[in-house]
A and B are shown apart, each in its own frame.
Chain A
Amino acid sequence: MALEWFRRERSVISPEQKKSTTDALWIKCESCSEIVFKQELEKQHLVCPKCSFHFAMEGSAYIAMLADEGSWQETDSTLRSLDPLSFKDSKKYADRVTASIRSTGKNDAITIGSCAVGGFPAVLGVMEFSFMGGSVGSVVGEKIARAVDHAIAADRALILISRSGGMRMQEGMVSLMQMAKTSVKLTQLGEAGLPYISILTNPTTGGTTASFSMLGDVIFAEPGALIGFAGPRVIKQTIGQDLPPGFQRSEFLLEKGFLDRIVHRSDLKPTVVQALRVFMHSKVHA
């Protein structure tokens, strides 16, 4: 049969080769199914040139996009999570953390550092969804706390890019308390009169949304991002009916009054800089 021609031996493609399909020249858009030239996509910060769908982008790419060239200095990169509950399900939490560190090359779900953005001094934090779903535990909480301290110490603005499924269950109440800890720290930033720009990307849900993500002086979101407190599946279960189209997407939140703006990725840096220029007017004097 003809199909036989296409059958391949299992052993022909190794997992490594399979992973490398992202190195292909062409990529199919998840939204409009258009085949896009990969180089073109990367040039446009992973936004589909045909339909403007925003592909998931790694933390490092956001840093490269926002930080002025040569200004980025990562801080507090060696913090690692402990296992306060000795939590174990099918796997030990400690082993999950080790496996995530190995697979992502990151020590936890956020990268922070100082940089200049359009010439304005800033502390930038970018969440890493690939690290346990961007879940927030002790390390993320502590790094956001330190980001606030760094900002206050050097009169810098704070910019956080959220991408997270919520609190990290495996750290139990210690993780829930990171909502409290980050909120406490943000009041200190507020007292210091320094701006906090919160940028929400797909997805931002749970305790992350219900703490630092929603506490920005201004809150921007990428188009089409899922943003909410409860996950769509839980809400669907609770109310026993399907959710309306577009529910909990950026456009919906803007309409309901919970975002300042939806910002296309290619406009993100100019928009942030515009805000900093106004908010930092009393802080930066040449």
Chain B
Amino acid sequence: MSKTATHEAVKSGAAHSNGTAGTVKSGFASGFVLDFEKPIVELEHKIAEMRTLAESSGMKNLGVEIDRMQKKAHRMREEVYSQLSRWQKVQLARHPRRPYTLDYIERLFSGFLELHGDRAFGDDHAIVSGIAEMDNLKMLVIGHQKGRGTKENIYRNFGMANPEGYRKSIRLLGLAEKFKLPVVTFVDTPGAYPGLGAEERGQAEAIARSLYEMARLKVPILTIVIGEGGSGGALALSIADRIFMLEYSIYSVISPEGCASILYRDAAQAPQAAESLKLTADDLLELGIIDGIIPEPKGGAHENFDETAQSIKLRLLDTLPELLREPSDQLMEARHRKYERIGYFLEA
């Protein structure tokens, strides 16, 4: 389903604002390219240059060459992206140019009113939440928010929530239930913040309470893992009737680095740990943990925010009305059965 018009991707990637930190540029222009993206991005860069040259000089005969190079770039992408290792997917999931929750909110909803604060301690900038409208659907939206660039990342605490973030989310779940709104959550966090204040204010209790409240919420919950699903901090926003993952997102009990430093006493073995942890969308669909995969544009979500948002929108429009038709007791019953079934054991 994912489209592969690479030149389109380059153009649109360069043209779209990410909503919060200026313009997202494709490839070298933004200064961040993964190793395995490099040859493709280099080639695309060259194509773009030639196109400019062709346009400005009127050298029509460059067209054939541009076409040839474009086909080559297309083939390279096909080849690289059809055989990504788990570690490469981890890198894509963490790509600094990847769209974040607010990038999607901006593209998915005709109206979004952000609501702040847990009414007890403060407002956590690592989680954004609010009421939103999409066509005729009204809903509550909650998501982890990473920052783009150092300054914004410090403001967002790199998407790592403190207890007040989860408590804000729990407060808003109450609103959803009261006003019969379905809940859509976006998961994108390295994990819950492991800090002094977080422990002092009960990080564990906040996460546990969130799991409990989501388990018994009477309205539909739909989760989309858009980037990094980091352990308990991700789980706290993802007890849901349906869980979807973007094609190159990950979801894991522990970071590959954390796993490697425990098992091999060496965080540099993370690529190997990523293989063992089975943390990709494909893996988790196979394990029966998630309900579906949302395709990304070739090259990843960062190559085309609009197209990715559109795929997410289609999935929401496809799934939410169906969930909303279910009586709430049946909905909860099904949610409970789904989680009760997760486990691999034998009994003598």
Contacts and interface: CB of A to CB of B under 8 A. Distances in A.
Contacts of B344: 81-84, 138, 171, 174
Contact of A178 (B205, B207, B252, B342): B342
Contacts of A210: 192, 203-205, 207-208, 211, 232, 236
A interface residue count range (under 10 / 10 to 19 / 20 to 34 / 35 or more) = 35 or more
28 contacts: A79-B347, A85-B278, A89-B276, A138-B343, A167-B231, A167-B254, A169-B263, A173-B253, A174-B287, A174-B342, A176-B232, A177-B235, A177-B339, A179-B211, A179-B232, A183-B211, A184-B239, A210-B211, A229-B192, A229-B232, A230-B195, A230-B203, A235-B196, A238-B193, A238-B195, A247-B199, A258-B202, A258-B205
Interface in B254-277: 254, 259, 262-264, 276-277
A116 interface: no
A66 B263 CA distance: 37
B215 interface: yes
B284 interface: yes
Given A173-B252, A181-B339, A235-B194, A139 B345 contact: yes
A213 B204 CA distance: 9
Contacts of B202: 214, 256-258
Given A167-B231, A180-B215, A230-B199, 13 more contacts: A76-B347, A90-B264, A145-B340, A179-B211, A180-B211, A183-B215, A184-B215, A186-B212, A210-B203, A214-B202, A214-B208, A230-B194, A230-B195
A80 interface: yes
What are the nearest 7 A-B pairs in CB distance? A230-B194, A138-B343, A183-B211, A209-B204, A78-B348, A229-B204, A214-B208
A229 B207 contact: yes
Contacts of B340: 145, 181, 184-185
Interface string B24-63: 0000000000000000000000000000000000000000
Interface of B: 192-196, 198-205, 207-209, 211-212, 215-216, 231-232, 235-236, 239, 251-254, 259, 262-264, 276-279, 283-284, 287, 289, 335-336, 339-340, 342-348
Given A79-B345, A258-B202, A173 B212 contact: no
Interface of A: 76, 78-85, 87-90, 138-139, 141-142, 145, 167, 169, 171-181, 183-188, 190-191, 206-207, 209-215, 227-230, 234-235, 238-239, 243, 247-248, 256-258
Contacts of A243: 196
A235 B195 contact: yes
Contacts of B289: 173-174, 177
Contacts of A234: 194
A179 B284 CA distance: 16
Contacts of A215: 208-209, 212
A238 B236 CA distance: 21
